[in-house]
Amino acid sequence: MQRCIRAAILHFPDSCRSALEADWEYLPDGLLWIVDGRIKQLGTAEALLQELPQNTELEHYPDHILIPGLIDMHVHYPQLEMIAAYGTQLLEWLNRYTFPVEQKYADKEYASRQAGAFLDQLLAQGTTTALVFATSAVNSVDAFFEQAHQRNLRMLSGKVLMDRHAPESLCDTPERGYDESAELIERWRGVGRLDYAVTPRFAPTSSDAQLSAVGQLLVDYPDTYLHTHLAENVDECAWVSELYPESRSYLDAYKQAGLVTDRAVFAHGIHLDAEDHKSMAEAGSIVCHCPSSNLFLGSGLFSINGALSAGVQVGVGTDIGGGTNLSLLSTLGDAYKVQQMAGEGLTPQQALYLATLGAARALQLDAQIGNFEVGKEADCVLLAPDRIPQLKLRLEHPIEIDELIFALMILGDERAVRQTWVMGEPALAPE
Ligand code: GUN
Ligand code: ZN
């Protein structure tokens, strides 16, 4: 099976060093040649057209931009149905809106339907990989992985562990949390394009004993990830210091249990100090910035530069349903606005890097995804800027690629996504 896509092509090659020095490769008239779901070659149309076998069919999209599939580093699939819940900050929001909804996901059929709808919406947004919270129900994870596997998607997820401060029907115990996670890891790890993330919700809903059990899971299954929340909200941080009086900081409660590793993704991480940054940088841990959620829940202003310049890896997540938009384009626009409030900047290059190669590197998946280097899996997205009415006017005049990507971050969303390919196969209905 082969496919040749001709369009403007934009990606960060392996030679790009970091988010702070993000330097993309732009081919205004490029060609991506895909064979058996992997990148066979990338080049200018002028050069590559000579090399293609004679009868190769070409899909030509003038005025479109082809980018690698976007990577959402923190999102809750069961919360898609409760986006835009009014009027609270984190802790009340969890009790009033989130926990009641998550109880429905013990029902396998319900969870499967929601997971399928969630994944289809992700693909419509151009997101091809995500690190996803399920709920504490084993069924919610089986449902998600089954749906992701059916779509041949590279997805990461895991069962939520929580043994306190939540409704009883959502709680497990340290032993049950361990056993159910281990069973799911054995069942799903490495199946197709799936990976497992051990997922304690956050320190307030896990006892000391449960965090230790999570640490044990990471030792027993070293190829899994750790996915949790950290220092999102001021009241939450105060609560953690009461619950973990022995810990120097919120991060330290995780560190003492062995959770701060180079495969650990901590969502939010707004309220951290220099010592926390140092620990995370030394361990190679990742902090996931979730700007739309931080604005919606009034959590605070994260500094991307602060984390990056301390040597901490950074990703970007939509954090649905604390976040209000499943589009990573729009989430990058929110990230820009948050950095403006923090008196810093975020260039379109840096932003797109964080949602593509940067995320792939942080997740240690850059041998598979994140750019268009030869041999990588061909997950890609075709952007049609003229589908955004406000942008259409702008396009009547010449526009540089960085201005165009920036305008797509600020004005764009799923309307700008014309097609998403998963390992070279179209995921959206062709037009
Ligand atoms: N902290 C603990 N659980 C959650 C959640 O579901 N969403 C967000 N944004 N923060 C959390
Ligand atoms: Zn979250």
pLDDT for position 53: 87
Please give the distance of CA 41 from its chain centroid, rounded to a whole number: 26
Element (H, E) at 225: strand 225-230
Give the pLDDT confidence of 62-107 residue by residue, as tens digits.
999 999 999 999 999 999 999 999 989 999 999 999 999 999 999 9
Read off the tokens for 249: 């900081």
For the chain, domains (ranges, CATH) are 2-69+371-426 (2.30.40.10), 70-326 (3.20.20.140)
Read off the tokens for 388: 């955004």
pLDDT for position 179: 98
Nearest protein CA to atom 7 of ligand 1, as residue: 322
pLDDT for position 22: 86
Report the number of secondary-structure helices (H) and strands (E) in the chain: 17, 16
Given a contact cutoff of 8 angstroms between Cβ atoms, the answer to whether 417 and 126 are in contact is yes
pLDDT for position 431: 81
Read off the tokens for 76: 């809750």
Q: Is 202 in the pocket of ligand 1 (CB under 6 A)?
A: yes
CA 229 to ligand 1 center in whole angstroms: 7
CA 76 to ligand 2 center in whole angstroms: 6
Question: Which portions of the chain are predicted below pLDDT 70?
Answer: none
The CA distance from 45 to 58, in Å, is 11
Q: Which atom of ligand 1 is nearest to the CA of 76?
A: 6
Most informative mutation of 99, 201, 287 for ligand 1 (most atoms within 8 A of CB): 201
Q: Is 74 in the pocket of ligand 1 (CB under 6 A)?
A: no
CA 392 to ligand 2 center in whole angstroms: 34
User: How many Cβ atoms are within 10 Å of 386's Cβ, its own excluded?
Assistant: 15
Closest alpha carbon to 25 in 381, 373, 384: 373
Q: Is 153 in the pocket of ligand 1 (CB under 6 A)?
A: no
The CA distance from 144 to 115, in Å, is 5
pLDDT for position 342: 86
- Residues with CB in 5 Å of ion ligand 2: 267, 319
Q: Is 319 in the pocket of ligand 1 (CB under 6 A)?
A: yes
